[in-house]
Amino acid sequence: MSRLGKIARRSFLIGSVAVAGGVAFGTYSYRKPVENPLLQDLPDGHAAITPYVRIDATGITLITPRADLGQGAYSVQAALIAEELDVTLDQIRVDPGPPSPAYYNGKVAAEGFPLAATDDGFLARNGRAFGDVVAKLMGLQITGGSSTVADAFDKLRMAGAVARETLILAASQQSGVPRSRLTTRDGAVILPDGGTLSYVSLAPVAAGLDPVTDVTLRDPADWRYLGKAMQRLDIVAKSTGTQAYGIDMQLDGMVHATVRTNPRMGGEMRGYDARAAEKMRGVIKIVPIIGGAGVIADNTWRAFAAADAIDFDWGPAPYPATSDGMWEEVGASFTRDRRDSRFRNDGDVDAALKDAKMIEAEYRIPYLAHAPLEPMTATVLLKDGRLDIWTATQIPRFMEQAAADLTGLDVADIHLHVLAAGGSFGRRLEDDYVRQTIELAMAMEGTPVKMTWRREEDMTHDFPRTLQISRARGAVRDGKVAALDLKIAALSTTASQTARLNQPVPGPDVAIVAGAWDQPFAIPDYRVSGYRVPAMVPVSSWRSVGASGNGFLHDGFLDELIHAAGADPLAERIRLCWHAPSRKVLKAVGEMSDWGSDPGPDRGRGVAFTLSFGVPVAEVVEVTNTPDGIRIDKVFVAAEVGRVIDPVNFENQVMGGVIWGLGHAMNCELTYDDGLPEQTNFDAYEGMRLYQTPEIIVRGLENTGTVRGIGEPPVPPAAPALANAIFAATGQRIRELPLNKHIDFV
C-alpha cells in the first residue's frame, strides 16, 4: 500500500479531519485509530467493515450514532452511508450502535473555541482541527451544536465507500473476476454477465479482508439519495403511534416510578415524611435518592399521586430566591472583575463614542426551559451484575461512565439502549433523570423500573437557558452605522454543563457572546465583551445555545442604530457585511420578501441576521397590528448551508427553528419566586400554537460547499426579526423578551 494509502487508513475514522487538513496538529495518539467496537464479540459469519456498517445473515445495518431527537438524524446518517454503499433505503436497518469512542464528534468541540466561522485564516483552521483532537481524546459522542451533518458528511460517505469497495474485493476473490469489472447496485455486486452476489452472501468473505481504504467518493452528479427528498425512515411509525419512545418502554415484570427532588435546583433535601404515601394503592416502595425520593408503584399515575402525598422538607435555593434578585446580580456583573472575554475589538470604540451623539439601550432575555413534549424518562434493570438502561440521550458515553460510577460496576457491564426521543432541544445533554432511575433500580434489583417525570418535575428541573442583560452603546455618522459597543452579561452555560460532565473547560466561555462577537459586519469601531455572572440556577445548552439570545441582543440593537442613521434596515446590513455568503443570504431574503415594497396599512416588516454554527441566516418577518394585537403573517428565511442534504427535512428544521424562536420570544419565560420557577406546565409556558403560525417561506443557499447542520441556526434571528417588525408596524421598540410583557399577540 502506498504511503498515502496508509495515512488514509489510519485517519480513516477521522475522515473529516483528514479532509480539513488537521495534519498540522498530528500526533501519534491523535492518529492512532480508535478501536472498532463492532469487532468485539462479533459472531462467525459477521463482517464489521467499519464502525458504521454491519452486515450479517439478517441483512445490512447502518450504525447512526448521533441521536435522533426529531431532527431526522437517523435518516440523514443512513442516506449518507447508503449513497456510497449502494443500497436502497428499504434494504437497511438503522441502529444507534453501542456507545464508543469511535463515534466521537469532532464538530461539537470545535464550536467551543473562539473562532468566528467566517474566519478562514490559519488560526481558525487550526483551532477547528484542535477541536477535533480534543473531542477525539475525550471520546465525545455527543449530538448537538448542529454538528451531525457537518461531522458526518465525509465520514459516513467514506464509511459507505470503504464497505462497498471491500465487498467488491470479496466478490472478486470469490468469483475470480477482477475488481475493475465489477460494479454494485442495490445491495449486491454485479458480475459482468449480469449475475449478482448479494452483500449479505459476501459478508463472511469480507470479514477476512483488510478494508480497502483507497476509495473515491461519488460525484454529486451521480447521487441517488443525497440532495433529494427522502421519506424519513421513521415517518410511518411516527404517524401510527407505533414509534416507541423512552416513555413507552415495556418489559416483563416492569414497575412504574417517579421521583421528586428539590424544585429549588441544587437545594438540599432535609428529610421527608412518606407515611401517607406508603399506604396508597399500588405503591411498592419509596426509595430515598440523592436530593429527594422516588416512588415505585404498579402504575405511573399511582406513583405520581403518591409522590404528591410525600411531605418533603426542602432546603432553600442556593441562588437568589426571586427574579428581581437574579436580575440585580446580572446587572451588577458589568465589572472588570467579571469580564470574561473581548473577542472583538475593532477600531477604537471609546474614542468613537466620545465625540458622537451616543445611542444607548439595555436589553433583557429570560431563563427558558427546553420542555420537550416527552418528559424525562428512563428504564433501568440491574440484574446479575449487569445494568441495562433504555432511554433517549445525546451523551451516551458520559451516561455509561456515570452509571459505572454510581453502581460500582465496570463500564463493560453497563448496556445502554438508545431509544427515540420525544424532542430534546438540548435537554438530553444532561443525565440526571437516568442517574435517578439507576438509584431506584439498585433498590429493586432484578426488576425493571421505568421512571417518568411529571411535567411539573420536568419544568422545575430543566437546566434552563441562561438569562442575560446586554448594555449597548453606538453611534451613527453620515447615515451609516459607525460604532457599536456591546456588553453581554450571562451565566456560563459551558462552565455549568461541563462541570456536571466532569469535563471542566478552562478559559473564557464563548457561549456568553456567541452569535454576537462573531458577526460578519465591518463596523469601523466595534467591540463585543462578555461578562460572567456567578452561578445561579444551573443552566445548559438550549437550541442554538449562546446565539439563541445573543441574536436578539446584537441584531436588535443594530436595528436601532440603522434606524437612527435613517438607513434602510436591509441595505445597511448588506453594506456592513463583508462576508460574501452572508451578503447573499441577506440579498436572497430581500428578494423573497419583496423588501422595499409597501407592506400596507398597519403592517410592518423586520429583518434580522445571525451567523451561528457556521450558518448565516437572514429572516424577514411581516406583522399586522390588529385591534386584538400583533399577528405574524409571514416569515421569509434564507440560509446558507453549503449543501442541502434533504430538502424536505431541511425545510422542516428551518420551520421548526423559526417557530421555536418566535414562540418563545412571544410568550415564554421562567421567573422565580421563593426560589421556585413560577411556570411549571404548558398553561404558563405556551410557545406558538397552530392558529398563530405564520406562513414560512424557506430558501437554502449552497454557495460555500461546506456542509452545515440546520437544526439550530434558524432560531437566533427569529426573535429580533419579530421585534424589528413590531417596531416597523407600531413604532414601539421592545428590548425585553418575552415580547408579550409589552404588547399583545393575536
Kindly report the three-state secondary structure assignment for every residue of 515-549.
CCCCCCECCCEEEEEEEEECCCCCCCCCCCHHHHH
248 binds, among another protein, ligand FES, none (CB under 5 to 8 A by kind): another protein
Instruction: Tell which residue, 649, 734, 684, 567, has the closest CA to residue 78.
Output: 649
Scanning residues 423 to 452, which ones bind ligand FES (CB under 6 A)? 423
Q: Is 626 in the site for another protein (CB under 8 A)?
A: no
List the grid coordinates of 710: 440546520
Spatial contact of 269 and 313, defined as CB atoms under 8 Å apart? yes
Cα angle, residue 72 at apex, residues 67 and 78 outer, rounded to 5°: 80
- Quote the CA–CA distance of 431 and 519 in Å, as a whole number: 33
Cα angle, residue 111 at apex, residues 541 and 76 outer, rounded to 5°: 80
Q: Is 231 in the site for another protein (CB under 8 A)?
A: yes
Q: Which of 242, 502, 626, 732 binds another protein (CB under 8 A)?
A: 242
- Quote the CA–CA distance of 468 and 659 in Å, as a whole number: 21
Size of interface with ligand FES, in residues (CB under 6 A): 3
Instruction: Tell which residue, 103, 104, 77, 106, has the closest CA to residue 89.
Output: 77
Scanning residues 362 to 381, which ones bind ligand FES (CB under 6 A)? 373
**Residue 693 C-beta: closest distance to another protein, Å:** 4
Q: Which is nearer to ligand FES, 185 or 689 (CB)?
A: 689
Q: How far is CA 306 from CA 256, 257, 284, 285, 300, in A?
A: 12, 10, 10, 10, 10
Q: Is 70 in the site for ligand FES (CB under 6 A)?
A: yes
- Quote the CA–CA distance of 655 and 713 in Å, as a whole number: 11
Q: Which is nearer to ligand FES, 375 or 530 (CB)?
A: 375
**Residue 370 C-beta: closest distance to another protein, Å:** 9
731: phi then psi, degrees, rounded to nearest 5: 80, 0
Burial label for 639, CB within 10 Å (0-12, 13-18, 19+), is: buried
List the grid coordinates of 577: 457585511
Q: Is 246 in the site for ligand FES (CB under 6 A)?
A: no
Q: Is 642 in the site for another protein (CB under 8 A)?
A: no
Binding mask 356-375 toward another protein (x if CB under 8 A, else -) reads: ---------------xxxxx
Scanning residues 303 to 332, which ones bind another protein (CB under 8 A)? 304
- Measured from each CB, the residue nearest to ligand FES is 373
- Quote the CA–CA distance of 427 and 418 in Å, as a whole number: 15
Q: Is 709 in the site for another protein (CB under 8 A)?
A: no
Spatial contact of 521 and 394, defined as CB atoms under 8 Å apart? no
8-16, 142-150, 193-201, 243-251 -> range binding another protein (CB under 8 A): 243-251
Q: Which is nearer to another protein, 92 or 247 (CB)?
A: 247
Half-sphere exposure of 363 (CA within 13 A, CB side): 30
**Residue 648 C-beta: closest distance to another protein, Å:** 5
Q: Is 711 in the site for ligand FES (CB under 6 A)?
A: no
597 binds, among another protein, ligand FES, none (CB under 5 to 8 A by kind): none
Q: What is the per-residue DSSP string for 156-179?
A: HHHHHHHHHHHHHHHHHHHH---G
Q: Which of 19, 24, 217, 237 binds another protein (CB under 8 A)?
A: 237
Q: Is 578 in the site for another protein (CB under 8 A)?
A: no
Q: Which is nearer to another protein, 61 or 75 (CB)?
A: 75
In eight-state DSSP terms, residue 742 is T
- Quote the CA–CA distance of 575 and 292 in Å, as a whole number: 57
**Residue 682 C-beta: closest distance to ligand FES, Å:** 7
Scanning residues 655 to 674, which ones bind another protein (CB under 8 A)? 655-660, 663
Cis omega (within 30 of 0) for bond into 738: yes
In eight-state DSSP terms, residue 308 is H
Binding mask 115-154 toward another protein (x if CB under 8 A, else -) reads: ----------------------------------------
Contact footprint for ligand FES (CB under 6 A):
70, 373, 423
Contact footprint for another protein (CB under 8 A):
69-72, 229, 231-232, 234-245, 247-248, 250, 256, 281, 298-302, 304, 371-375, 420-425, 452, 454-455, 648-649, 652-653, 655-660, 663, 681-683, 686-691, 693, 695-696
